[in-house]
Structure 1
Amino acid sequence: MSALETTAKPCGQIILARHGEPALSRKVMLNASGYGEFWARYEIGGLLPGQTPPDRLRRFVADCGTLVTSTRLRAIQSAQTVLGDKPFDRYELLIEAPLPPPRFPVWVRLSPKIWGFVARVWWWYLNFHDGQESRAEAEVRADEAAELLVGFAANGQTVVVIAHGFFNHLIGRSLRRQGWKLAESEGYKYWSMRRFERG
């Protein structure tokens, strides 16, 4: 039994969970312009039907004091899959960091997975943001999100966030700088969770 399974009690934890699998096939090859259009569809799209959230996530949600999501449909639908009709708050602050593709020649065609990796490297290390949110701006936003979550957890309750893989990573970095420790990680796959405790 993992630590995630044995500590599902309100104790000032912050759980950063990634949304479920989106209903957008990645089995395509795209040039830079095509990937830009793909990402735009990804950002507004919902979940692939028929998914079942992991039992551990269900248990954390059942025991948490606060559950919040980003305002993206895939995060909202993920929370609804766990909660049903119960209300929860949604924050623009928690949306994913952008992935503008570098301006490669039109004949360069890559899969969305490879484009995502390349775009993130260009955005992170080369500050290529194509007029969208920059790395520095996203890091400031992640600090603000971390402060919001720490505030929710201040009374000792467990806070569950259902949002996005990379921006959850940025929030986690901010939490660690504030003295929180990563107690358990399932990585960054769909429905995965990373649990933080006060240091």
Structure 2
Amino acid sequence: MSLDTPHITRLGDIVLARHGKPALSRKCWLTAQQYRDWWGRYDAGGLLEGQAVPPGIMQTAREAGTIYASTLRRAQETAAAVSQGQPVHTHAVFVEAPLPPPHWPDWFKMPPRLWGVVARLWWHVFNHHDGQESRLEAEARAGRAADMLIERALAGQDVLVLAHGYFNHMIGQQLKARGWKLVDDQGFKYWCQRRFRRA
């Protein structure tokens, strides 16, 4: 769609938001194999009950012309909490990039947070994917996601994505490469938003 199409008065913003806090506890020490099992439970699980939804993300949802969510349960429950009855478009293109840990011996244990850092490093730098999605494949998927969001935004709609920390970062990189500027950055904590606007 041309940017000078007469009936388009403004371009929409693209907002990438991370889901709320998951219920699964990170207060444990795990072997590499145990972390694989833990991550499987994390992906299957939902949000911790009783969380207060920040008013900022509620306002973003009210103003959005389109709301997307990852297919994973924690993103779906986040969407239900913020959408206020608006339609939510579920799409697997927004699911988190995989986190397979390296094959380290069982005597070595770390908490899930540190395993996440190590697994992401091994995946990102050393292409350790254990037969799951590789970094290059995830980057291509992030590009497809960015193109999907841009198409909506060029029609004049603000677009909200409720998904995951690292893959949102990957989409953000693709948006920047396509000429979109990060104009509001709350970081990557739970419920936080990052807003992109056409430069």
Could you say which TM-score interval applies, normalised by the shorter chain?
Answer: over 0.9
Alignment-derived partner of residue 126 in structure 1: 126
Alignment-derived partner of residue 41 in structure 2: 41
Instruction: Give 1:85 deviation, angstroms.
Output: 4.1
CA RMSD of aligned residues (A): 1.0
The SS at the match of 2:60 is helix
Instruction: Give 1:87 deviation, angstroms.
Output: 2.6
What one-letter code is carried by the residue in structure 1 that aligns with 2:195? R
What one-letter code is carried by the residue in structure 2 that aligns with 1:36? R
The SS at the match of 2:41 is helix
Alignment-derived partner of residue 60 in structure 2: 60
Number of residue-to-residue matches in the alignment: 190
Ranges in structure 2 where 5+ consecutive residues have no aligned partner: 1-9
Alignment-derived partner of residue 78 in structure 2: 78
Q: Any residues of structure 2 matched to 1:138-177 within 5 Å, and which?
A: 138-177=138-177
**Cα distance in 1 between the residues matched to 2:174 and 2:25:** 32
1:14 equivalent to 2:7? Answer no
**Cα distance in 1 between the residues matched to 2:16 and 2:76:** 14
Alignment-derived partner of residue 4 in structure 2: none
- Identity rate, percent: 49
**Cα distance in 2 between the residues matched to 1:162 and 1:11:** 20
C-alpha contact (below 8 Å) 2:19/2:78 kept by paired residues: yes
TM superposition score normalised by structure 2 = 0.93
The SS at the match of 1:53 is coil
TM superposition score normalised by structure 1 = 0.93
**Cα distance in 1 between the residues matched to 2:164 and 2:83:** 18
Ranges in structure 1 where 5+ consecutive residues have no aligned partner: 1-9
